[in-house]
Amino acid sequence: MEPVTQAHVPHRKVLVVDDDFRSRSAVARLLADEGYDAAEAADGEEATGLLASWQPDLVLTDLHMPRLDGAGLLQRVRHLRPGTPVIVVSARGETEADRLTGGKGAAAFFPKPLPVDALLARIRELIGS
């Protein structure tokens, strides 16, 4: 009987979108420490370019950003990469976030400052580790 070998499982990719550089880079570092490949974008327009070229497994986006906000990015993800989960985060605007998670297709909402353990648990539920 041949031994069973586990195929190499590629790292899951998370696109972190936030106009605040410190928040964005801190979350990307946290995800990298957890074994995810993390890319960063400063707003929804920049993130849109990465949707096709980098093909993230999950998008984690701030709600309030210039140029293209989290709600607009959510619509683009639904159109360009159907089935890709989107997690929305915000320091304000929980009513808008509730609307996005309710009927617009966001997989989850987390307030800032981020509850790290709950966020990581939700990411694992959505795309594994």
Domain for residue 112, yes or no? yes
Q: Please report whether residue 33 resides in a domain.
A: yes
pLDDT classification of 121: cutoffs 50, 70, 90: very high
More confident residue, 76 or 8: 76
Phi, psi of 15 (to 5 degrees): -95, 120
Q: How far apart are CA 41 and CA 18, in angstroms?
A: 7
Nearest to 12 by CA among 42, 32, 30, 27: 32
What pLDDT, on a 0 to 100 scale, did the predictor assign at position 87? 95
- Domain containing residue 120: 13-127
Asked whether residue 4 is assigned to any structural domain, the reply reads no
Examine residue 7 and state whether it is found in any structural domain, yes or no.
no
Give the Cα separation of 101 and 1 in Å (integer). 49
Render pLDDT for 54-103 as a digit per residue (tens, 0 to 9).
Answer: 999 999 999 989 999 998 999 999 999 999 999 999 887 666 666 666 55
* pLDDT tens string 12-71: 999 999 999 999 999 999 999 999 999 999 999 999 999 989 999 999 999 989 999 998
Q: Is the pLDDT of residue 4 over 60?
A: no
Record the pTM.
Answer: 0.88
Q: What DSSP state is assigned to residue 107?
A: S
Q: How many domains does the chain have?
A: 1
Q: Using N-to-C axis directions, what is the helix angle for 116-127 and 21-33, rounded to 10°?
A: 60
Within a domain: 5: no
CATH code (residue 115): 3.40.50.2300
The answer to the question of residue 24 being in a domain is yes
Q: Does residue 39 form part of some domain?
A: yes
Is residue 3 in some structural domain?
Answer: no
